[in-house]
Structure 1
């Protein structure tokens, strides 16, 4: 029999690829033809950076690349999650020491899993790491591919320069480095030239019109009971349902999954049901994301309120009445590059959270100048529309991407009242000092800890998020009635709270 703890873990598995059991990964994850191209680049020679927002599928691509390489057995592939608290709290030589030891352990585990008896030592400095990686590749006569997940953190950017220096140094003809980063990483250091020292790949699934099959395949794999036409009203098909949800969350996989979860008990799904879901996501998921991410932004925490104002201003601009006849609000916006430069970090946060997704890097505005095109989150867009009503005409227009693009000019009034506060000196992440109670189930943490688990942690003197993040599995197992599944549950919530 599956106990309550195991049931809780099951509900979390579908949210993050890195938390999915290996034996279930292939069944739960689907990849499009464009995804396959990215995976081939991750398998091939040369350093690669894949860039995308939270829940965009970066981890899934790295894990799938690792899985395929392991099956082919032509290279030694090592997947390394850098969700490791000492890395987040250190810099310089201290960071290098933690990084080298962590990577050494992951290489040892990978060799052991392959029944390879090569002895890779535990090293603590860059020179020894580089030397032993080359020795490993030469000894087993195979290329080594290192896949670094969660390499970047918006709120702790200083160690990034050290990471990218390591990334560049250990890359060679025998050792290929790959890493996932978030939109807008700029702290690459003086020795790392991002476009000369790596291939950068953007992950974006916001343009549903280019591939109407991807989210349908995901729906069939994860929610086969929702993929049947019998579950939908006459005016709505499973294909339309999957694509409007995928477009609503600007292609974000985590948002897509959370939306589908809301239909588990719906007997017959209609357009009004989808309407209700999208409005609920705007209120219960997207705006609370601002509250969740704020304490882990470090020096950028003061930018959360301006980010909210920017998003509200963009949506207001997109839904305002126009002299042109149209069936729905404008779901894409072209923003002048001067405004993007002025609010650069805010746009990075909005992209990371899934409020917007960059469609085009540069397009001419009718009034002059150039800017970037962003797809808007339909949940927040629908919430601000006067009628708050999803129609079949609007749905088709948004899926096809045939609507007119709104424009925000540099001389316009849209962002005029928004001011940027000064940034403080970096002093670490505020989330680590927050009381453990912030991890309770809430709109910010929909799969958070129950009051019972929080009380167990408090009784064991784990009073802050930082103390829980620093605890070992052994420490947590010493708490009465806390088993392996509960420890994993606590780890998943901490990962969501601390890491980006």
Structure 2
């Protein structure tokens, strides 16, 4: 299997072309329920760790709504908040809200044009910007220019943001009501729905929270709540645990649905196998099936996360697919790679470092030890029950809960049940990534069979409100983090750490793209200056760099 290449795998949905989307999409019962809910009028938070498929669900829902638009008249608009982090250096916080509204308006206008909806009343957008009837086409350029100015301002010295915006918009932004008051946006949407015979709008925010720093997240959720009307419903994909909601109440202001897959659900293994089948050649898939037990071991190790599964499949099949290579992959990928990514968060976010380090020690030196001892004792006693679960008291120190939330973001643990009772007290029960557990033993594939067949949610270790294991953890505040310093640090990171081939890395370095900042300051087109980097590779490299940057910020 040495012919398997990194480029053969698509690890991120944003790299998938629209016409290829349904060819790669594999649906579970839960996925269908989530997509159907996305299409309803109710506001929604779609919660899931990195790589669990939130973007895929949003894009499939958008496509289905696009395909049924002529009958249903529901217009779905997928809004991207890429480059939000670059606005942190803009002094006036009001600009960030204006930027979000401008992005929504820009994307809405583009979607209407893409659907071929001809406005019977020229200037319906333009009059809200006081630029004259028949000038809607000019507005697209102005909004795009306004967005670009704000995104680039943090990287330029002695840059007069206000003056540059005035040149583009012909007004100061405080004089453009629709960029400041949601009531004007509601009025515009009402006009659009009436003129274009649209029943309602659905705004999908994919990068809503994993692109924003905490203060921006709080502003976003205020806007999310303000946008709600009889004609507008909002849906946002968020990471578990690390999101700052401000006054937005997670369960009162929106419905919450999770995307993590149930390991014990009938059909789990066939579903995950189908995800792999859609990404590899028939020849390679046949060889995977021939070693079905090893294949299933990698599936369970990924704990339902498609991205982790595809990466481990790639690593295991880059040579012969056998037990030796699968064992090495499990130990290297889950014991080294994932933990290294988690530890990097402490290097970038100095204010978080103590929590990141404590969380790793807590899992490796306490939870994994207790879990393995439980499992081993049952095997020795001839009992089949096995566990990947642990529970944290609801009233544990806030720093402990924050450290666990960072572990959720990293994909090392995930919430299994919130608010379960243990001996009359309330705990949150978590599950450890199975790959993490398997990586602690010499031969992971031998442990996998007993662990998976005997898995029982009733077996777990609980850590109380004042557990002695919490000693030494320090208080944490988001205000400890200087995000301007974080931005500068991350943008200086070398491209050598990106998830691209050595050939691609060398070509872009030769073309002058040596850091993440070098890539992100330009566009996909700029990357095509590199030798043998065409449009497809340029898009993938830019997306890899962008997502790597955002994942640093999100921690």
Q: CA 1:32 to 1:144, structure 2 compared with 1: closer, same or farther past 3 Å?
A: same
1:58 match: 54
- Maintained 8 Å contact 1:440/1:451: no
1:278 pairs, out of 319, 330, 343, with 330
1:141 match: 197
2:426 match: 370
State how far apart, in whole Å, the 2-side matches of 1:388 and 1:451 are: 36
Q: Deviation digits for residues 317-355 of structure 1, max 9, x if unmatched?
A: 211266543569632223333337441221111111111
State how far apart, in whole Å, the 1-side matches of 2:285 and 2:8 are: 22
Q: CA deviation at 1:435?
A: 7.0
State how far apart, in whole Å, the 2-side matches of 1:415 and 1:154 are: 33
Structure showing greater radius of gyration is 2
Q: Deviation digits for residues 228-271 of structure 1, max 9, x if unmatched?
A: 565455xx53xx5554333312221210110121243555x455
Q: CA 1:422 to 1:178, structure 2 compared with 1: closer, same or farther past 3 Å?
A: closer
Q: TM-score, normalised by structure 2?
A: 0.76
Q: CA 1:227 to 1:374, structure 2 compared with 1: closer, same or farther past 3 Å?
A: farther
Cα-Cα RMSD: 3.3
1:103 match: 104
State how far apart, in whole Å, the 1-side matches of 2:543 and 2:217 are: 24
Q: Does 1:300 align with 2:352?
A: yes
1:201 pairs, out of 257, 271, 277, with 257
2:30 match: 34
SS of 2:429 mapped into structure 1: strand
State how far apart, in whole Å, the 1-side matches of 2:194 and 2:294 are: 52
Q: Does 1:161 align with 2:190?
A: no
1:125 match: 180
Q: Does 1:453 align with 2:508?
A: yes
Q: CA 1:328 to 1:340, structure 2 compared with 1: closer, same or farther past 3 Å?
A: farther
Q: CA 1:292 to 1:66, structure 2 compared with 1: closer, same or farther past 3 Å?
A: farther
Q: Does 1:219 align with 2:276?
A: yes
Which moves more between the two structures, 407-416 or 352-361?
407-416
SS of 2:117 mapped into structure 1: coil
SS of 1:384 mapped into structure 2: coil
Q: CA deviation at 1:39?
A: 0.3
Q: Deviation digits for residues 43-72 of structure 1, max 9, x if unmatched?
A: 111211101111111111111110111111
Q: CA 1:399 to 1:245, structure 2 compared with 1: closer, same or farther past 3 Å?
A: farther
Q: TM-score, normalised by structure 1?
A: 0.84
Larger fraction in helix = 2
SS of 1:222 mapped into structure 2: coil
- Maintained 8 Å contact 1:80/1:147: yes
2:310 match: 257
- Maintained 8 Å contact 2:45/2:235: yes
State how far apart, in whole Å, the 2-side matches of 1:126 and 1:95 are: 13
State how far apart, in whole Å, the 2-side matches of 1:155 and 1:308 are: 25
Contiguous gaps of at least 5 residues in structure 1: 1-6
State how far apart, in whole Å, the 2-side matches of 1:196 and 1:403 are: 29
- Maintained 8 Å contact 2:312/2:329: yes
Q: CA deviation at 1:409?
A: 2.7
- Maintained 8 Å contact 2:385/2:455: no
1:79 match: 78
2:545 match: 494
State how far apart, in whole Å, the 2-side matches of 1:67 and 1:365 are: 44
- Maintained 8 Å contact 1:336/1:365: no
2:165 match: none
Q: Does 1:419 align with 2:473?
A: yes
SS of 2:439 mapped into structure 1: helix
Q: CA deviation at 1:227?
A: 8.0
- Maintained 8 Å contact 2:46/2:257: yes
2:117 match: 116
SS of 2:480 mapped into structure 1: coil
State how far apart, in whole Å, the 2-side matches of 1:328 and 1:394 are: 13
1:3 match: none
State how far apart, in whole Å, the 1-side matches of 2:390 and 2:191 are: 52
- Maintained 8 Å contact 1:314/1:414: no
- Maintained 8 Å contact 2:241/2:408: no
State how far apart, in whole Å, the 2-side matches of 1:472 and 1:445 are: 18
Which moves more between the two structures, 485-494 or 312-321?
485-494
- Maintained 8 Å contact 2:348/2:490: no
SS of 1:152 mapped into structure 2: coil
Q: CA deviation at 1:426?
A: 3.5
2:483 pairs, out of 428, 438, 443, with 428
2:151 match: none
Which moves more between the two structures, 246-255 or 32-41?
246-255
- Maintained 8 Å contact 1:433/1:465: no
Which moves more between the two structures, 200-209 or 403-412?
403-412
- Maintained 8 Å contact 1:97/1:124: yes
- Maintained 8 Å contact 2:102/2:179: yes
- Maintained 8 Å contact 1:434/1:464: no
- Maintained 8 Å contact 2:207/2:237: yes
State how far apart, in whole Å, the 1-side matches of 2:540 and 2:115 are: 28
Q: Deviation digits for residues 394-417 of structure 1, max 9, x if unmatched?
A: 425425633762313327867245
Which moves more between the two structures, 117-126 or 300-309?
117-126
State how far apart, in whole Å, the 1-side matches of 2:196 and 2:295 are: 46
- Maintained 8 Å contact 2:48/2:260: yes
Aligned residues: 478
Q: Does 1:181 align with 2:235?
A: no
